[in-house]
């Protein structure tokens, strides 16, 4: 993308309404614009990151064997009356009356609707196991929305639902979700720690929240420091293997890690003192096993292999997609702006032309732009007629992890400058070598 | 995808509520499920096609230089009061009160919000031209929703908005949209004819609707039969070229083609009688130039190169994304089911194992499945323990354009059967040759 043709309305001043760094930077980098309290438009740069996060989630969910679909945002109140949650949910549910005076609502979650779909179409244990998921807009009418997309009213969420014959099978689905979530967050450059959680309004027995450590986190968390040394990495896993998934669960949840809601001082005291940590965390996901809580009242049953009609065992598993942008920025920034992890960066690298209008510099930038694009990468080429300082400030603010700087002086020596946003370190090298390095960073070595 | 692990709830009986063929087949093929009047869940197969259509639209919009972003579904009534449309829109607008008693609405379109974003961030003619678009859920509280996704209440729509300094520039943006829409529909296997249209509640001077000819269309259309011979094809186009885009507009709109709203019997009479056609059509998109209708009242101005503050010239351009699934099926089906065009088919081909459990047949199917998958294709492998007749009926119903049938008898002669869903013609060939043919059909020849 050429910046002169893009829509990137960066702000010079820090908006006064933004209390936390991710909110400030998302506004300043022209990623979002508030349209009303807790409701945002996703400007092109923000939308691009949102889409990248969504793509990673889809890839990892499909890899785990989960099946994507989509449920509507506006639902009838009837199903929610069946489960009893229409009254329970309180004022956070956005209630709507349509022109025929029917009670509708903007879905805050979808246990009822997915259970209805299941009971309408599935009748035999042979059709299990089944895990369906969606990534869809949700609404919670927060009384005091704040922190930008971190606690908005309209938010984008991945919610998945497993249907299994037995508790044992459902716990395997639970573990499968845990593994796929670990992979998902790591690909986004995040360390998200599974912590034993409280089941809240969804209800359930087994549940873990995934928390990203950050000073601005809303939850207080208590953990054994050993847990931060764990990495899922690029190990192979067979999602059908009960043993393999169970082993990952045990590895990642056997050390103490809890939020303030489930914290137990006595148990925590058993952790060696030098490993006891208290910090703040941002919740970016949650997995639940809740058994027959919805299947029983709503009649979601299957016939088992002995001919008995039994309610299915279910769980629901969520990732806060829009909130993840905030969480990533909270975890990865400096005083100049955002520092995107490579996995979610809106553009793979920036190209800064130090002297727009200089034939040689223009030609070198064009050549870089075309070569990178031909590799399937997306560079952002700052081709505006601006001073170098302004161009650098914009690139630093929007946080592209790599920047190639091109100027007449370097070109005389046959070099451009490659700069890491994270370390600030620069290196002079030929344009070809710079392309090769960028390609390598993004795992394209073979194609160059 | 292995069918035994998929969620494809096909129905044997025709649902009584469905009046038109696309609605019937979408229900029977397990693509959608109604959750309340005019509101649907997109089951996995339906979601897959929806996503393919969305991807094509994104690709063609970006190719035209238009920039993707996303606006929220729930908007404040305030902006709509500024433009005067809050009262004009009538009962089709889903009006909502939030917990603080503020008037909100579920957006049926987004001229107001995009104009607000523009006026907040853009101030100079140097930032023009600019075209922003989104693909987002919309809501229109139709009094009598019907025809499945063709006239639903919650629907998925691409809406794009151009901002230009002059009427001339805005008309170039209009033409650019016309060209990109022609390409978009053709990639979906559709012939969508641009017809002079009525501007309706959006208001505007220049507007064309794109109509797909189909017996079940809601509009009566009148056209010169020459227009159906036009194809955009794979010609190259420079979207920056005013002349090239204008030439396409002239080519595709110079023959008589109008809906009943703008039909003029006298002008139509000038078309040679043997070329005069009356038919029915489904509207799948519309482009508008409406000048300063929103920019003037809402103060969306830029400073021009002489220092004058002038309101920008705008247009809005929509494609009915969810409705397109219905339109494609209306245009492409037979009495056995859907016939997907290759560009939007949910799976590239089906694999039918005639004798599940037979070692050789199973192995041959697995090998085909793996080879096709390795090419980046998505086959749907019917690995269920069902009779051949049932498997064929399912494949015909869900409409995959190509089917590979594998059975012990053929394998003895080293062949499988490749069948075209459209023509019904079958051919015996080696598994390798079948793979090569499928790859070729999807333009992957080079990779085999």
Residues B261 and B404 in one domain: no
Q: Distance between CA atoms of B248 and B358, rounded to whole angstroms?
A: 56
Which residue among B338, B370, B402 closes a domain? B338
Which contiguous run of DSSP H or E holds residue A35?
strand A32-36
Neighbours of A395 (CB within 10 A): 25
CA A419 to chain B, closest CA, distance in angstroms equals 27
Residue A327: inside a domain: yes
Contact: A7, B33; criterion CB under 8 Å: no
Q: What is the structure's pLDDT at B362?
A: 97
B151: which DSSP letter?
A: B
Among candidates A33, A76, A99 on the partner chain, residue whose Cβ is nearest the Cβ of B120: A33
Residue A143's Cβ-count burial label (10 Å; 0-12, 13-18, 19+) is: exposed
pLDDT band at B16 (very low <50, low <70, confident <90, very high): confident
Contact B281, B213 (CB under 8 A): yes
Contacts of B253 (CB under 8 A, 6+ apart): B178, B194, B196, B208
B30: which DSSP letter?
A: T
Specify the pairing of strand B337-338 against strand B333-334: antiparallel
Residue A36: inside a domain: yes
Residue B233: inside a domain: yes
Contacts of B35 (CB under 8 A, 6+ apart): A71, A72, A75, A76, A113, A116, B41
CA B99 to chain A, closest CA, distance in angstroms equals 7
Residues A265 and A411 in one domain: no
Residue of chain A whose Cα is closest to the Cα of B69: A44
End-to-end CA distance of chain B: 21
Specify the pairing of strand B74-76 against strand B94-97: unpaired
Residue of chain B whose Cα is closest to the Cα of A4: B127
Q: Distance between CA atoms of B33 and B443, rounded to whole angstroms?
A: 33
Mean pLDDT of B407-435: 97
Question: What was the ipTM of the complex prediction?
Answer: 0.96
Residue A403's Cβ-count burial label (10 Å; 0-12, 13-18, 19+) is: buried
At B96, give phi and psi (nearest 5°): -135, 145
Q: Give residue-wise pLDDT tens across range B300-313.
A: 999 999 999 999 99
Residues B359 and B424 in one domain: yes
Which residue among B306, B338, B370 closes a domain? B338
Contact: B98, A99; criterion CB under 8 Å: no
Specify the pairing of strand A192-196 against strand A154-164: unpaired
Specify the pairing of strand A74-76 against strand A154-164: unpaired
Tell me whether the omega of the peptide bond preceding residue B215 falls within 30 degrees of 0, making it cis: no
Mean pLDDT of B238-250: 97
Contact A70, B321 (CB under 8 A): no
Mean pLDDT of B233-242: 96
Residues B24 and B52 in one domain: yes
Residues A384 and A403 in one domain: yes
**Low-confidence residues in chain A, pLDDT < 50:** 446-448
Site from A13, A31, A35, A108 to mutate, B interface, most B CB atoms within 10 angstroms: A35
Contact A79, A107 (CB under 8 A): no
CA distances from B397 to A209, B159, B338 (A): 42, 32, 6
Residue A39: inside a domain: yes
SS3 A189: coil
Bridge partner list, A163: A130, A314
Contact: A68, B47; criterion CB under 8 Å: yes
Residue A344: inside a domain: no
End-to-end CA distance of chain A: 21
Residues A173 and A113 in one domain: yes
Which residue range is the domain that position B240 belongs to?
Answer: 3-338
Residue A396: inside a domain: yes
Q: What is the structure's pLDDT at A204?
A: 54
Which residue among A338, A372, A393 closes a domain? A338
Residues B172 and B308 in one domain: yes
Six token digits for residue B51: 């996503």
Q: What is the structure's pLDDT at A17?
A: 84
Contact A169, A127 (CB under 8 A): no
Tell me whether the omega of the peptide bond preceding residue A258 falls within 30 degrees of 0, making it cis: no
SS3 B434: helix
Residue A217: inside a domain: yes
Residues A202 and A170 in one domain: yes
CA A386 to chain B, closest CA, distance in angstroms equals 13
Q: Which residues of A touch B74 (CB under 8 A)?
A: 36, 39, 94, 106, 139, 153-154
Burial profile B129-154: b = 16 or more Cβ within 10 angstroms, e = fewer: bbbbbbbbbbbbbbeebbbbbbbbbb
CA A128 to chain B, closest CA, distance in angstroms equals 8
Number of domains in chain A: 2
Residue of chain B whose Cα is closest to the Cα of A33: B117
DSSP result, B387-417: -HHHHHHHHHHHT-SEEEEE-HHHHHTT-EE
Q: Distance between CA atoms of B255 and B227, rounded to whole angstroms?
A: 6
Q: How many CB pairs under 8 A join A and B?
A: 145
Residues A155 and A304 in one domain: yes
Q: Distance between CA atoms of A50 and A73, rounded to whole angstroms?
A: 19
Q: Give residue-wise pLDDT tens across range A309-327.
A: 999 999 999 999 999 999 9
Contact: A42, B113; criterion CB under 8 Å: no
Q: Give residue-wise pLDDT tens across range B135-169.
A: 999 999 999 998 999 999 999 999 999 999 999 99
Q: What is the CATH number of the domain that holds A385?
A: 3.40.50.800
Lowest mean pLDDT among A359-373, A424-438, B81-95, B337-351: B81-95
Residues B120 and B30 in one domain: yes
Residues B302 and B436 in one domain: no
Site from B46, B72, B173 to mutate, A interface, most A CB atoms within 10 angstroms: B72
Residue A80: inside a domain: yes
Among candidates A44, A50, A96 on the partner chain, residue whose Cβ is nearest the Cβ of B67: A44
Residue of chain A whose Cα is closest to the Cα of B138: A73
CA A295 to chain B, closest CA, distance in angstroms equals 18
Neighbours of A234 (CB within 10 A): 8
B336: which DSSP letter?
A: T
Contact: B47, A70; criterion CB under 8 Å: yes
Site from B1, B64, B67 to mutate, A interface, most A CB atoms within 10 angstroms: B67
The alpha carbon of B69 is separated from its chain's Cα centroid by a whole number of angstroms, namely 18
Q: Distance between CA atoms of B89 and B111, rounded to whole angstroms?
A: 13
Q: Distance between CA atoms of A173 and A350, rounded to whole angstroms?
A: 41
CA distances from A108 to A308, A325, B420 (A): 34, 20, 44
Contact B294, B112 (CB under 8 A): yes
Contact: A139, B74; criterion CB under 8 Å: yes
Contact: B50, A70; criterion CB under 8 Å: yes
Contact A179, A245 (CB under 8 A): yes
Q: What is the structure's pLDDT at B446?
A: 46
Contact: A9, B121; criterion CB under 8 Å: yes
SS3 A125: helix
Angle at A347 between CA B241 and CA A149, to 5 degrees: 110
Q: Distance between CA atoms of B118 and B302, rounded to whole angstroms?
A: 10
Among candidates A30, A73, A92 on the partner chain, residue whose Cβ is nearest the Cβ of B137: A73
Residues B62 and B194 in one domain: yes
At A438, give phi and psi (nearest 5°): -60, -45
Mean pLDDT of B276-286: 96
Residue B446's Cβ-count burial label (10 Å; 0-12, 13-18, 19+) is: exposed
Q: What is the CATH number of the domain that holds A153?
A: 3.30.930.10
B354 Ramachandran zone, left/alpha/beta (phi>0; psi -120 to 50): alpha
């Amino acid at each position: 993308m050429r910046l002169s043709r893009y829509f990137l309305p960066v702000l010079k001043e820090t908006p006064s309404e933004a209390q936390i760094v991710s909110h400030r930077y998302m506004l300043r980098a022209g990623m979002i614009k508030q349209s009303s309290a807790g409701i945002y438009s996703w400007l092109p740069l923000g939308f691009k990151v949102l889409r990248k996060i969504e793509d990673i989630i889809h890839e990892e969910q499909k890899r785990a064997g989960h099946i994507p679909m989509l449920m509507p945002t506006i639902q009838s109140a009837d199903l929610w009356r069946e489960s009893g949650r229409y009254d329970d949910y309180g004022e956070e549910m956005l209630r709507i009356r349509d022109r025929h005076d029917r009670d509708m609502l903007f879905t805050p979650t979808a246990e009822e609707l997915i259970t209805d779909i299941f009971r309408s179409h599935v009748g035999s244990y042979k059709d299990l196991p089944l895990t369906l998921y969606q990534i869809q807009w949700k609404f919670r009418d927060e009384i005091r929305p704040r922190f930008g997309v971190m606690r908005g009213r309209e938010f984008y969420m991945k919610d998945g639902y497993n249907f299994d014959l037995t508790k044992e099978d459902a716990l395997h689905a639970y573990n499968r979700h845990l593994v796929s979530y670990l992979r998902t967050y790591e690909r986004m450059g995040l360390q998200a720690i599974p912590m034993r959680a409280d089941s809240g309004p969804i209800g359930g027995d087994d549940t873990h929240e995934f928390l990203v450590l950050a000073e601005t986190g809303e939850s207080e968390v208590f953990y054994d420091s050993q847990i931060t040394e764990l990495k899922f990495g690029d190990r192979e896993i067979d999602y059908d293997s009960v043993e393999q998934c169970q082993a990952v669960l045990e590895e990642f949840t056997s050390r103490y890690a809890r939020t303030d809601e489930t914290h137990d001082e006595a148990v925590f005291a058993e952790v060696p003192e030098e490993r006891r940590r208290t910090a703040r965390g941002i919740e970016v996901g949650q997995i639940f096993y809740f058994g027959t809580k919805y299947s029983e009242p709503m009649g979601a049953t299957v016939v088992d292999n002995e001919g008995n009609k039994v309610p299915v065992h279910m769980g629901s598993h969520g990732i806060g997609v829009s909130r993840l942008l905030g969480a990533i920025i909270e975890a990865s920034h400096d005083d100049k702006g955002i520092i995107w992890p490579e996995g979610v960066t809106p553009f793979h690298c920036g190209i800064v032309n130090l002297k727009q209008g200089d034939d040689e510099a223009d030609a070198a930038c064009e050549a870089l732009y075309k070569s990178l694009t031909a590799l399937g990468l997306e560079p952002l080429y700052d081709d505006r007629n601006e001073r170098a300082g302004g161009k650098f400030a914009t690139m630093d603010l929007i946080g592209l992890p790599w920047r190639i700087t091109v100027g007449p002086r370097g070109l005389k020596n046959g070099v451009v400058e490659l700069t890491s946003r994270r370390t600030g370190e620069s290196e002079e090298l030929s344009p070809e070598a710079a392309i090769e390095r960028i390609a390598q960073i993004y795992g394209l070595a073979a194609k160059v």
